[in-house]
Amino acid sequence: MKQKTKSARHRCQGIAPSAPLGLGMVLAALALPLGNLAQAQAQAQPEYAQIGFKYLGYQDSQPGQERIKVTAPAFSLMTPVGRQWSVAGNVVVDSISGASPAYHTQALTSMVDERRAVDIALTRYFEEGTITLGGYFSQEADYVSRGITLGGTYSTEDKNTTWNAGLNLSHDSINPSNRITADETKDTQEISLGVTQVLTQRDIMQAIAGLSHGVGYYSDPYKIFDKRPNQRDHTTFLLRWNHHIDATGGTSRLSYRYYKDSFDILAHTLTAEYVQPLPDGWTLTPQVRLYSQSAARFYVDFNPDWAPFPANPPPGAQHYSEDQRLSAYGARSMGIKVAKQLGEGWQVDLKYDSYTQKAEYKFGGGGSPYLDPLTMVTYQVGVSKRF
């Protein structure tokens, strides 16, 4: 079978995802502290520089078929500059290969691609908070993404309440290798507003709301019968609660994420993890995640009467898709992370996750029928040095 190049962005755009790279960089800077929950302090300039390396491996499959395989080495650097600034940056190279279905979970076609991405952020520290300006660039054979981010935090005098805001602007260029379409673009604007609040000596909560407006090319040119609206808006709400447990010295971290978009996809994500410090610099973090989404309003269900061919879209339909990622389904994942603090500022960590996606896992039932289950495993090895 002839191998073809296929954009990783196109493969993922049907999912109700976490924030994209640029906004994700802002949100990461505003995340809940992982250590002592006694105070919620405004971010202070880091005292030390830190360099890190991570290697990610990923493999998904369906019964009898391996699908996408990804390997992704990534480098990161953060360093203070002067007395009131810091600079942080990341570089990642994704090598992608395997097979992807042309419709539903059928007609797997081989593909290969490589993505190179870089992001950088400059932060200015004040007595009451921070301002962060960043930018990112990502390039694949058929997809180029550029964006800028702006984020800020402001803390009350007692440091118990911290407000945050983020802005992300991106421009994407799409030129599929199968030449079905060319010179397409997509522009997205996103904003987020949130607050982090100390509740007790052991409890801290964070709430973040986000809005996104995108206009441009959302169809997947590598799928059969795929024509999506040229506008996609979504709303997200994220709630986190960290609780320190005196008896064990550990911290439980619970979160809920709500997602609703103009494709009529409604998604819920529940995450629970527990961070347990152990003797001799070890840390153990198990995690469980549950996910559920409804189908896009223009999703076309698999029809066994048409098998092995794709079902025709409804007569007169303006928009339609037979992409499994726009179907109604649920997912369950379990993972564990082990970290070890070494001498002279070194840390190593290892993380493993197992993910299973099925129609019957959808909250309340009613998932899209006749789709093969999807399973994924990911592992990540990291090392960092503070100096």
CA 169 – CA 146 distance, rounded (Å):
8
Residue 76, amino acid: S
199 closest CA partner among 243, 133, 144: 243
Beta-carbon neighbour count of residue 300 at 10 Å?
24
Q: Are residues 201 and 37 in contact, defined by beta-carbon separation less than 8 angstroms?
A: yes
Q: Beta strands of 44-142 (E only): which ranges?
A: 50-62, 65-81, 85-103, 106-125, 129-139
Q: Which are the contacts of 291, defined by CB distance < 8 A and separation ≥ 6?
A: 267, 268, 269, 270, 330, 331, 332, 333
Closest residue by Cα to residue 338 from 350, 353, 352: 350
For residue range 39-79, list pLDDT tens digits in order: 333 478 889 999 999 999 999 999 999 999 999 999 999 99
What local confidence, expressed as pLDDT, does residue 44 receive? 83
pLDDT for position 386? 95
CB atoms within 10 A of CB 120: 16
* Predicted confidence (pLDDT) at residue 184 exceeds the cutoff of 60: yes
Tell me, what DSSP letter sits at residue 201? S
Phi, psi of 24 (to 5 degrees): -60, -35
**DSSP code, position 21:** H
Average model confidence (pLDDT) for the chain?
Answer: 89
Q: For residue 67, give the 3-state DSSP assignment.
A: strand
Among the listed ranges 12-16, 252-256, 327-331, which one has the minimum average pLDDT value? 12-16
Q: What is the per-residue pLDDT for 25?
A: 30
Using the predicted structure, report yes or no on whether residue 177 has a pLDDT greater than 90. Answer: no
In this predicted structure, what is the pLDDT of residue 170? 98
The pLDDT assigned to 178 comes to: 77
Length of the chain: 387
Return the structure tokens found at 192: 């987020």
CATH number of this structure's domain 4-386:
2.40.160.50
d(CA 205, CA 218): 35
The SS3 assignment for 44 reads coil
What pLDDT band is residue 258 in, cutting at 50, 70 and 90? very high
pLDDT of residue 11: 36
* pLDDT for the residue numbered 183: 87
pLDDT tens, residue by residue, 93-124: 999 999 999 999 999 999 999 999 999 999 99
The yes-or-no verdict on residue 16 having pLDDT over 90 is: no
Q: What is the pLDDT of residues 275-324, one digit of tens each?
A: 999 999 999 999 999 999 999 999 999 999 998 899 999 999 999 999 99
Statement: residue 239 has pLDDT above 50:
yes
CB neighbour list of residue 203: distance below 8 Å, 6 or more residues apart? 37, 241, 242, 243, 244
Mean pLDDT, range 357-380, rounded to an integer: 96
C-beta neighbour count of 355 within 10 angstroms: 18
Q: Considering the entire predicted model, what is its pTM? A: 0.88
Q: What percent of the chain has pLDDT over 90?
A: 83
Q: What is the pLDDT of residues 341-353, one digit of tens each?
A: 998 899 999 999 9
Residue 7 pLDDT: 43
